[in-house]
Amino acid sequence: MNSYPSLTTKVIDKVFGPAIDYVNTYNINGGFIFVILFGLYIYFAIMKKGNSWKNYNWYDKLGIIGFFTILVINIFIQIGMFGIFRK
């Protein structure tokens, strides 16, 4: 094993390093990243199925409802972290 970091480690560090630093700096919890990824899934689901509620499967409906629930909870967590409600 050589002491130099491998190419993949370098790439990951270049790509995700700033994001990880940002998360550490602003104390953004992992839920926020999850919300962004899930948001992309929902965006593509809506693009694919159209905007009629009847077109969705039960897991799509569950996902969308769950996503917005998590989003609302997450917004409150973020606000709490920035100390708006903190005395």
Domain membership flag for residue 73:
yes
Domain that holds residue 60: 7-81
Mean residue pLDDT across the chain:
66
pTM for the predicted model, two decimal places: 0.34
Domain membership flag for residue 2:
no
DSSP 18-86: HHHHHHHHHT--HHHHHHHHHHHHHHHHHHHH-S-GGGS-HHHHHHHHHHHHHHHHHHHHHHHHTTSS-
Domain membership flag for residue 87:
no
Domain membership flag for residue 66:
yes
- Number of independent structural domains in the chain: 1
Domain membership flag for residue 1:
no
* pLDDT of 30 higher than 60: no
